[in-house]
Amino acid sequence: MTNRAPALFVGHGSPMNAIEDTPSSRGWADIAKRFPQPNAIVMISAHWVTEGVKITSTANPRTIHDFGRGFPKALFEVQYPAPGDPDLARAIAEKLTAFGAELDDTWGLDHGAWSVVKHMYPDADVPIVQVSLDIRRPASEHYAIAQALADLRDDNILVIGSGNIVHNLPAFFRAPSPDPQAWVATYDKLIVSGVANDHTKVVNYTAQPDAAIAAPDWEHFMPVVYALGARHDGETPYFFNRHYYPGISMTAFAYGLPQ
């Protein structure tokens, strides 16, 4: 019997986590040691937003440096040469036929993907297929897409959503001190309680108190919904990386860790 891979959500934060030794990057490396290496990864990143559901289909996806010029040269020099998996991409497209999913050979691995996975699997030896975030769909349909992906886990395929529960960059850059605003922890804890006990609270995240300020960037929140939808019955979340910064929470969670 094959291993059932977990479903993860990771708060990825700054691209600098890719090259720095931070509490969050250490947390990503540590979580990967908690379960067997997967056969492949299906990644849903905040940084690939499309009209329609797209699936990367190339055998050798490029490393995309999709961030501004203010970052150091060393970050732009990072290459993460993990292979793709065209066969898996086609299988995913078939699973998502009802959602009009299409293969895409133009995208690669954006920093929401490689900045995290390079700490989990530094040898870049696990194939990665990215599934885009369809800008046209409400959270309930993203949840349904995730549910359609959930049984991939039974083939030891790891499902990862990469974004942030709390993501407000203006609040990060304009903060008067390094201390997080009170609403960062308040909203993060509210969503954490929903992940553990009430999925409707998470899917309806915009209706929750402080959502307008804590989660104004839908594309960074929606990967939470993908990890949620990929959960199997009876699984309880394991939370890690509970780190707060002005305007940002780095909280991550996993369903289906081996006991």
Residues with Cβ within 8 Å of 106's Cβ and at least 6 positions away in sequence, in order, are: none
Can you tell me the mean pLDDT for 37-65?
Answer: 98
Closest among 229, 230, 211, 231 to 221, alpha carbons compared? 211
Closest among 9, 29, 114, 23 to 67, alpha carbons compared? 114
Can you tell me the mean pLDDT for 23-46?
Answer: 98
Q: What's the mean per-residue pLDDT of the chain?
A: 96
Can you tell me the mean pLDDT for 67-87?
Answer: 94
Name the band, by pLDDT with cuts 50, 70 and 90, for residue 1. Answer: very low
CA distance 40 to 113: 13
The pLDDT tens digits of the residues spanning 212-251 come to 999 999 999 999 999 999 999 999 999 999 999 999 999 9
Q: What is the pLDDT of residue 86?
A: 98
- The fourth-level CATH superfamily of domain 7-255 is LigB-like (3.40.830.10)
Is the confidence at residue 175, as pLDDT, over 90? Answer: no
Is the confidence at residue 77, as pLDDT, over 90? Answer: yes
Can you tell me the mean pLDDT for 146-169?
Answer: 98
CA distance 150 to 233: 11
Can you tell me the mean pLDDT for 165-170?
Answer: 96
Can you tell me the mean pLDDT for 94-116?
Answer: 98
> Helix 218-229 crosses helix 182-197 at what angle (to 10 degrees)?
20
Name the band, by pLDDT with cuts 50, 70 and 90, for residue 82. Answer: very high
Can you tell me the mean pLDDT for 201-219?
Answer: 97
